[in-house]
Amino acid sequence: MTPKKALITIISLFLVLGLMAIIFPSDGIHISESIALRFPSLTDVFPVADTTANGKNDPEDEIRAMMEATRQKQFAAFADSLRFYQDFFDSGKTRFDLPNNDPTWFDRFFLHLQLASIDSSVVHIVHYGDSQLEEDRISSTIREDLQEEFGGAGPGMLPPVLKIQPQTTVHWSRGALERYILFGPKDEEATHSRYGPLAQFANLNGTAVIGIKRRLDRKDRTKVYPHAGGYATIKVLAGKRGKLKVRMDYDRTFTTVVGLNPDSTEKIKTSVKMVEAEPPIVDSSYTKLNVYTWKLPDTTSSVKITLTGNTEIYAVSADGAYGVAVDNVAMRGSSGTIFHRIDPELLAESYKAMNAKLIMMEYGGNMVPSISTSNIDYIKKLVTRQILAIQKANPDADIIFIGPADMERQSDGRWKTYPALRMTIAALREVALENGVAYWDMHRVMGGNGTMSKWVKREPPLGFTDHIHFTRRGATHMGDLFSSSLRMYYDFFKFRGRHNISDKKLLALRSFNDSISTAEAKKPVVEETTKKPIAAPARKPVAEQPARKPITEPVRKPAVAEQPTRKPIAEPTRKPVAEQPVRKPIAEPTRKPVTEQPARKPVTTKKTTEQTTAKKKTRRKVNDTENPQIKKRKQIQQTTPADQQKRKVRKKRRPVNGQKQGSNTNLSKKQPTTPATRREKR
């Protein structure tokens, strides 16, 4: 068949089918009640679109509906994780109180920490506080936890003269250094305000030496600090006034090949020697500050800095090559109301030189005993002034205010929480949030009123018997709680980074999450247009910061939110003393008591007057007629002189006290007993 004929045949077939569709009854041809022949109509084969105005399908509406369905599906996948974080941010006991309740408040700080490893820089966290921080307590635990996560080493900034030694570092100084502090007695203050970032300095006039060395691990430590050593970056902050020459020596490890091992590998011998470092790099770009920096080729755990000249020394720091450093600044008896008295220009230059990106202010405990309703407004203004002074000196840094812990005093023979503690906490939280500062409530973290008594009674105790200060173990536990809370916000930061959740998308996610947890969960998400959006934070959004190289996810354990709960430090693994086996008292000797031993036969020596006297004292007094010795004495007195002489001869011949007969023992006549003779015999 030719193509022409085939085409005609196909067209004819379609025409016949079309004609049958037109003339065939719409209800079909019924052959019986249950059987009918039907043929599709043209409208069934070629459906006609609805051309009415109400039935038109807008392509944009269809695309919008598809996008909304995809968004809801994606939001549902994030709902559980977001709800987990949101529950902690809203009601977690260790949570931070954040300005505008914005859980992204820490983003800028976390970004600095992640970029430190890329930029090979050190980010400093300055931890100011009162006597709770002495001996580097709390700070050392936070430092160790952050250095484990973000890298870093060393104790951070230290004053040139340190009175109370930290528990992780040995710090010593000698020579022409005179210390001045801003938070102590008036006679220890300087005549100017150039105190630097540690609120103290030392005046150098001559030559002085400062030593920093890692403290060896001790058995009484409640936590191990492997990052306490490993210094690679050493800095000295000195004043512009006067002249200064610096030199540094440090312990360096040398390795030498001394032969071969039995398996043909090199046998290496290591030795540590103190060597002089290369001259430091001096940064003189500041107005009131000179910064001397050493970058060591190897890490060390012991340095010695020699200073010569006449100037002011503000701080000495020992850090790692990169990462994070936490500076412990303990001020015994201080309420933190001294920052407005520090030279603002010098303070700003010091923060910049040390790359300080987070300031922690742990104060309030010394305020509690004197706070009342009459002076609470003045205290709020005073604390606000300190926050503004730090913000002015370092606008690029975030600030965390850590409130006081539970404090108790004795009343009616019982320990009770200070009545003004809650008032103080409420005032400090209000001031912090009003000024864009995060607040961490140690009182709430501990458990509220009366918790300090429980901490004191725990075994081993977490609080001192003064019911105010933590023990070392209690401070370690509090530092771990702080780090765990901060890690939760960091996990939330990484969660949003992994899923590319912007601030705008986060608001939509939170709205979606709220909608499915309320009675209006059945309503479509698109109908929730009247819901008031969450207020945006006053800070500059992270999305508006200049784009930087993406951070690769570190190969580490999953986020803390997915990790099992860490065991508190306060629960030691060692066996309690009360459960140890009872040792046998030393007072119970195994030998037979002396009282049960047979009486030893007395040595038969010459009867002395003392023995006679002792027998007379212990002998019962009886009647002379009943005493046989008295009777015998009377009989001797009644004998004749001749009988007495014979008796003496017989007595002389008888062996005396077991001696052999014929010995030369002097048996002189018995002398009458008198007080004089008794003394001679004694």
Tokens standing for 136? 């580097």
pLDDT in tens, 592-632: 444 444 444 444 444 445 555 555 555 544 444 455 555 55
Average the pLDDT over each of 73-77, 92-96, 159-163, 305-309 and give the range with the smallest value.
73-77
Task: Return the pLDDT at 642.
Answer: 60
Task: Return the pLDDT at 94.
Answer: 96
How far, in whole angstroms, is CA 148 from its chain's centroid? 13
Q: Return the higher-pLDDT residue of 54 and 643.
A: 643
pLDDT at 518 > cutoff 70: no
DSSP E strands in 277-383: the ranges are: 281-283, 289-300, 302-319, 323-330, 356-362
Average the pLDDT over each of 501-505, 523-527, 646-650 and give the range with the smallest value.
523-527
pLDDT in tens, 316-334: 999 999 999 999 999 999 9
pLDDT in tens, 275-318: 999 999 999 999 999 999 999 999 999 999 999 999 999 999 99
Q: Please provide residue 306's backbone torsions phi and psi, each rounded to the nearest 5 degrees.
A: -105, 125
Tokens standing for 550? 């993406």
E strand or H helix that includes residue 419: none
Q: Average pLDDT in the 169-177 region?
A: 96
pLDDT at 646 > cutoff 70: no
pLDDT at 337 > cutoff 80: yes
Q: Return the higher-pLDDT residue of 268 and 197.
A: 197
pLDDT in tens, 472-503: 999 999 999 999 999 999 999 999 988 888 77
Q: Return the higher-pLDDT residue of 305 and 584.
A: 305
Q: Which of 468, 382, 489 is nearest to 421 (CA)?
A: 468
Q: Return the higher-pLDDT residue of 590 and 67.
A: 67
Tokens standing for 437? 């500062």
pLDDT at 462 > cutoff 90: yes
Average the pLDDT over each of 218-227, 358-367, 399-408, 607-616 and give the range with the smallest value.
607-616
In terms of DSSP bridges, do strands 231-239 and 289-300 run parallel, antiparallel, or are they unpaired?
A: antiparallel
Confidence of residue 77 (pLDDT cuts 50, 70, 90): low
Question: SS3 for 639?
Answer: coil
E strand or H helix that includes residue 19: helix 3-23
Q: Report the chain's mean pLDDT, rounded to a whole number.
A: 80
Task: Return the pLDDT at 48.
Answer: 58
DSSP states along 213-258: EEPPP-TT-SS--TTS--EEEEEEEEESSSEEEEEEEEEEEEEEEE
Average the pLDDT over each of 62-66, 381-385, 452-456 and give the range with the smallest value.
62-66
Q: Taking a C-beta distance cutoff of 8 angstroms, is the pair 99, 537 a contact? A: yes
Task: Return the pLDDT at 540.
Answer: 41
Task: Return the pLDDT at 603.
Answer: 44
Confidence of residue 92 (pLDDT cuts 50, 70, 90): very high
Confidence of residue 437 (pLDDT cuts 50, 70, 90): very high
CA distance readout (Å), 435 to 129, 265, 296, 333, 400: 19, 63, 41, 25, 11
